[in-house]
Structure 1
Amino acid sequence: MTFHKIIYTTILLITAGTLHVMAQDPTKPKTEEKAVTEEIEVVRPYKPVLAEAVKLRRSPDLNDVKTYKARFNYSLTDRKLELNSDINKLQAQEVAAEREAELINNYVKGGFGTAKTIFGEAYVNIGKDEAMQAGAYLQHLSQSGKLNKQQSSQQRLSVFGRSIGETATLSGRVNFQRNGLYFYGIDEANPALNPNPEKQTLNFFEAEGEVVNKYTDDPDAFSYAAKVNGYIWSDKFSAKENSIVLNGYMNKRISSFNLGLAASAEFGGTKDSITDVGNNILKLNPYIRLQTHGVKINAGINFVQEFGDFSSTRIFPAVTADFTLIPDYLQIFGEVKGDVNRNSLKQYTDENPWLNSNIEIRNTVEKLSISGGIKGTGGPGFGYKARIYHKRIEDMPLYVNSFSSFNKFDVIYDFGTMKLTGLEGELSVQVSDALKWTGRLNFEDYKPAAETQSWFKPQMRLSSDLLYNITKQISLTASVAIQDDSKAKVYLAAPAKPYLIPDPLNEQVVTVKGFVDLGAGANYKINNKFSAFIKVNNLLDSSYSRFLYYQTIGMNIFGGISYSF
């Protein structure tokens, strides 16, 4: 075979193979005249293959084509279109009513302890009422000491009421008090002088009514008040006393000024087996008051007319001033005044219940009293007051042991004008609701007019009280009373009657020692109804005396239960 034949044969084979391949491609049209001109697309169906775990056991319903139609309610408001561009007033939202606390107005308390102590107390009230208030109080306390007939008992009953009207407030009260005791005084140098002490009973009945107009902010307001008080007093023997006191007050405000008048009329009488005294006093106190910008000045006079067994007319100054230097923190005050004090057996027996019979009654004249000091607060819970005073007093009453009955006391008067200079201080501290402390201190210097001493008048007296709430259930109380030495007069022979001028050669001065009296107590609140208490008096168990020959009961402890409702 020649070389040329081989080349032609190879070209022919290649051309034939190419045409064969082109005939098998369906996407390309054939160039031959007899080729099909319509394009045909062949698609094989897709058959998915799922695993056995995800196959559906039933076919979904494709015909569920329900649609949700919401229902709407329309409320059309016919409201006028406002074109006001001003700022509307904001309406305050009403606060929800606070739940009222449950008030417990009544309680009953009872207990007993050493020294044959029996204690009972009760208080009842009608409850919360803005227009009417009424209630009653009852107390009993009895004790016995180691000395012969060293016994005492006291009962108190009080009923009160108040009605608050639109223009005035009416109030009234009725009190009854009974003190039972013995003249158990004993002279340690002669203990057999009082083998059978006499018994004494003091009865007191009082009634009082008052009307006061309600306060108003009117700068030209007229205010008034009126009160009437009367009492009947008697003892186991022949002494009797009665008194009626009428008080009135009127005040007219004119801008920063006040024009007013205070008046009182006291009518009373004291009777005993050989004494009968009528003692009446009329007092008028016109004044003018200026109150503005931390300054308060009250200037007036005190007109006093005595009538009855005593007759005199006196006019005293009545001036007070109060200046605020630092609001709520520091105030300076001063006073210049004079007055006549009506003395009575009720007043004397409240201080010294072992009085003799046929006590002389005279009034005490406070010729001039000048005082001044400072007061204010040192922050929340701290208050203070300090005052210095000087008084000139005529016919000052004093107690002395009777010559005929050493364990009874007569009342004498320091005839003339005695001078008294004193210093008084008060403190009050309240750290929180859990701790509160108060204290008071008095220093007094007496310069008698005719007597050698101011009998039974100590120069220094101190008292203090403490309250500490440990928890809401437990609270502690403590108190202390301290008194300096005082002097007593013992007659060596019977004094002159009537008694006018003392005879130093016929009297002996005895020192009554001072004392310190400590007390403590505790309260435990069991629940809202019940609580328990305990109290200890005279912790030092000292047998001190306030008046000569009369020792107090030593340390005594008593406790009990109280119920609130």
Structure 2
Amino acid sequence: MHRTIKYTSKIFIAAAAGLFIQQSAKAQDTLKEATIDIITNYQPKLRDAAKLNLTASLPATDSSRSKMNYNIPALNLNFMYQPVPLKPLALGKDSLNALQNNFIKVGYGNLSTPLIQAGVGSGRNDQYNLGLFFNYTGSKGDIQYQDYSTMNILGSGTYFAEKFEVDGRVGFNRNRVNYYGYDHTLIDLKEEDVKQVFSEVFAKVGLRNRPADPKGFKINPNVEFIAFKDSYKRQENTFVANIPVSKEIFDDIHVKVSGVFDLSAYKMDGGETINNNVSSVRPAVEITKPSFYLRVGVNPTWTNKETYILPDITNDIHIAEKKLILSSGWVNYINKNNFRNLANMNPFIADYPNTILNTKVQEIYTGIKGTLGSHFNYNTKIGVINYKNMPLFVNDATDPKKFAIRNEASLKATQIHGEIGYIDEEKFQVRLGATYFDYGKQETELKPYGLVPLNANLNIQYTIAKKLQLKADLFAFGGNYYVIQPNDFNKTDGAFDMNLGASYDITKNFGLWFNANNLFNSKYQRWNGYQSYGVNVLGGLMIKF
């Protein structure tokens, strides 16, 4: 950058003075100023800064000890309270209330219905517990011989040792029914012609080890013997042995094996013995995680000269922990159709067939279950079931008041099940459940005779002030098919009815109870020809001690 700088020097001043003098002489001359233009390059520069060199250092350490003088005045305190020396206190007594292990319940109803129940228990004990139970009830209906009675006696106990526990039970059951399902205007029969009494004596004993190591072997063998007979001198002896063993091989992974031997021998007075045996070995692997469960097993089974390989696979997956669980399975098993089991299904059966076959069941299902909040729980399932050799019950052509057993070679059904419940501690409980079977295809018979397609029930229980308990049962089931004549059939009506019950504790040891059954007076027929009782009301006294 270039600048033009104007200076007025001494020369300029001297010249100006001379000219001024001359000008004075010549007033008419013009005064002129002479200037000198000096042109140069301007280069500004900063002056060198004066820098200070500072060196930081710590001050010298003062190791001298300061002398502190304290002056604390003495205080003399006088306490009025003198502490009591510590002494050990005696342990308090057990605060648990005494158990009411014994009770007697008696009552009577409108259908000449007596009821007697009694129970006796040993109470709390570290080494054993014992119990004895007795029950008797019966009724008489409006129809001739529409009578029944039942009596049950059961004794049970458990002995606890350091490394194992032994439990057992013995009992006797007697159930009387009559074959009253016939047209009483056309046939006149005596009581001994329709009387039927089933009785059984049973005994069971089992052993369970108590391993100190949670991952050790767990063994629970048990055996049971049952002697079952009826009024027609038909008798069946059954021996069942079950030997399960389990072991945890890795964390949450168990190996389980059980051997099951179910042996029955049926004999009618003067007839031949019919053996019905089922034996199986059931190995399985179980994986149990907080949000996952899987069981994979296979059950080789032998029954009546038949051999089956039965898969057993079940799985639970927590989609939302405990709230939404996907449950699926492919299970196969054998339903044993011995005389005792069939009589429990239908007490009005006729002769036990010589060529009875056991039922092979295959079930494939899926569904969801879980909990909602802290009170609700639910369970749903849909599946397909295949039955091979399914027993069906039809009215006997020669004696319609009894039921003959027919074998359905193959029967398929679609099952839909749902239930939901609400529990508020012990104060209020409600449960609604229903199961529907769509028997869509059978191979041997025209219809699935005697099988109920729908079962539904609503159960409610409410406790007020821990003294008054109220309960209600609302139930419904669908009608089932029965044979009118060869190649012709009909269907029974469905039923819808209600039961109510209540109990009230007057004192700690005495209470009242009341039951009202079939309030809608629905005289339905579970089995064709056998009408139910209708309204049945009974009540009585409960004593606890």
Q: TM-score range by the shorter chain?
A: 0.7 to 0.9
Q: State the one-letter code of the partner of 2:411.
A: M
Structure 1 residue 153 displacement after superposition:
0.5
Offset from partner CA, 1:6-54 (integer Å, 9 cap, x none): xxxxxxxxxxxxxxxxxxxxxxxxxxxxxxxxxxxxxxxxxxxxxxxxx
1:428 aligned residue (421, 440, 458): 421
- 1:168 aligns with 164
Report 1:176-255 matches (<5 A). Answer: 176-187=172-183, 191-197=185-191, 198-214=194-210, 218=214, 220-255=215-250
2:126 aligned residue (126, 130, 137): 130
Matched residue count: 460
Q: Tell me, yes or no, if structure 1 residue 264 matches structure 2 residue 260.
A: yes
For residues 371 and 194 of structure 1, do their structure 2 counterparts lie closer, same or farther at Cα, with a shift above 3 Å needed? farther
User: What secondary structure does 2:220 align onto?
Assistant: strand
1:539 aligned residue (485, 501, 519): 519
Give the distance between the partners of 1:407 and 1:293, measured in 2 at CA: 55
User: What secondary structure does 1:192 align onto?
Assistant: coil
TM-score with structure 1 length normalisation? 0.77
Give the distance between the partners of 1:508 and 1:115, measured in 2 at CA: 36
For residues 403 and 383 of structure 1, do their structure 2 counterparts lie closer, same or farther at Cα, with a shift above 3 Å needed? same
Give the distance between the partners of 2:84 and 2:99, measured in 1 at CA: 49
Give the distance between the partners of 2:447 and 2:188, measured in 1 at CA: 27
Give the distance between the partners of 1:358 and 1:321, measured in 2 at CA: 39
For residues 147 and 252 of structure 1, do their structure 2 counterparts lie closer, same or farther at Cα, with a shift above 3 Å needed? same
Give the distance between the partners of 1:348 and 1:452, measured in 2 at CA: 21
User: What secondary structure does 1:300 align onto?
Assistant: strand
- 2:339 aligns with 345
Give the distance between the partners of 1:367 and 1:510, measured in 2 at CA: 27
Structure 1 residue 339 displacement after superposition:
2.3
Structure 1 gap segments, 5+ residues each: 1-68, 77-92, 493-505
- Contact 2:119–2:132, Cα closer than 8 Å, also in 1: yes
Give the distance between the partners of 1:293 and 1:182, measured in 2 at CA: 53
- 2:379 aligns with 385
For residues 515 and 215 of structure 1, do their structure 2 counterparts lie closer, same or farther at Cα, with a shift above 3 Å needed? farther
Greater CA deviation, 295-304 or 95-104? 95-104
TM-score with structure 2 length normalisation? 0.80
Structure 1 residue 124 displacement after superposition:
0.7
User: What secondary structure does 1:421 align onto?
Assistant: strand
Structure 1 residue 468 displacement after superposition:
1.4
Q: State the one-letter code of the partner of 1:103.
A: L
- Contact 2:335–2:361, Cα closer than 8 Å, also in 1: no
Q: State the one-letter code of the partner of 1:516.
A: F
Structure 1 residue 238 displacement after superposition:
2.2
User: What secondary structure does 1:180 align onto?
Assistant: strand
Report 1:21-420 matches (<5 A). Answer: 99-187=95-183, 191-197=185-191, 198-214=194-210, 218=214, 220-256=215-251, 257-273=253-269, 274=271, 276-306=273-303, 310-360=304-354, 362-366=356-360, 368-415=362-409, 417-420=410-413
User: What secondary structure does 1:191 align onto?
Assistant: coil
Q: State the one-letter code of the partner of 1:487.
A: Y
Percent identity between matched residues is: 23
User: What secondary structure does 2:221 align onto?
Assistant: strand
Structure 1 residue 317 displacement after superposition:
1.2
Give the distance between the partners of 1:323 and 1:168, measured in 2 at CA: 34
- 1:454 aligns with 448
Structure 1 residue 444 displacement after superposition:
0.4
User: What secondary structure does 1:346 align onto?
Assistant: helix
- Contact 1:186–1:194, Cα closer than 8 Å, also in 2: no
Give the distance between the partners of 1:425 and 1:454, measured in 2 at CA: 23
Q: State the one-letter code of the partner of 1:385.
A: N
Give the distance between the partners of 1:127 and 1:239, measured in 2 at CA: 41
User: What secondary structure does 1:209 align onto?
Assistant: strand
Structure 1 residue 164 displacement after superposition:
2.0
Give the distance between the partners of 2:376 and 2:160, measured in 1 at CA: 33
